[in-house]
Amino acid sequence: MRKIWLELRWQIVIGLWLASIFGAGAFMLSDNVQPYEYDAEHSYIVPSTAHDGEQITVMWKLKKINRICPGSNHRVLFDPKTHVILASYDPTQAAVAESIKDGYLNRTFLLPREVLPRGQNIGYRATVCYICNPLQRIFPLCVTTPELFFRLE
């Protein structure tokens, strides 16, 4: 009876260990809730009419804040008619809790000089990749923001 118990005990220990490993892996694989839900209807760019080299601020209205996760933010400016990318910015750190004020996430950056076509609308969007659990260091949770527009004079 003692021998059976010793063998059974190791099987239980190994079974619990495997269950915890696979359970944690399954949880991390199914963890796909984006940290923020953007409200494009109430989001805007300040100023709505900009000039070359000017600083603009994207004011994202957040519908829901699920959690705060580290990650990176890759922004592009594009032509709304042809969807050609006019400017691509180096990745920056994803938003931290301090950059969210009154339900708005503010992102400020400079426009390039003498590259963008004047007298027309310019589109803005970002792809934000979050790392909310260890598995997402390999397979990050990437979200593309809605497109916002401003005019360049």
pLDDT in the model for residue 39: 93
Mean pLDDT of the chain: 89
Q: Which amino acid is at 33?
A: V
Q: Which CATH number fits domain 34-152: 3.40.50.300, 3.40.50.1010, 3.10.20.30, 2.60.40.1930?
A: 2.60.40.1930
pLDDT in the model for residue 82: 92
Measured CA to CA, the distance from residue 48 to residue 71 in angstroms comes to 28
pLDDT in the model for residue 111: 93
- The pair of three-digit structure tokens given for residue 143, joined into one six-digit string: 């979200």
pLDDT tens digits for range 46-61:
999 999 889 999 999 9
**What does pTM read for this prediction?**
0.81
For residue 62, what are the β-bridge partners?
38
pLDDT in the model for residue 10: 79
Per domain, the residue ranges of the chain are 1-30, 34-152
pLDDT in the model for residue 68: 87
- The pair of three-digit structure tokens given for residue 57, joined into one six-digit string: 């601020």
pLDDT in the model for residue 1: 66
Measured CA to CA, the distance from residue 118 to residue 127 in angstroms comes to 25
Distance from the first to the final alpha carbon of the chain: 87
Quick count: other Cβ atoms within 10 Å of Cβ 142? 14
pLDDT in the model for residue 91: 92
pLDDT in the model for residue 117: 84
- Could you say which residues of the chain have pLDDT below 50? none
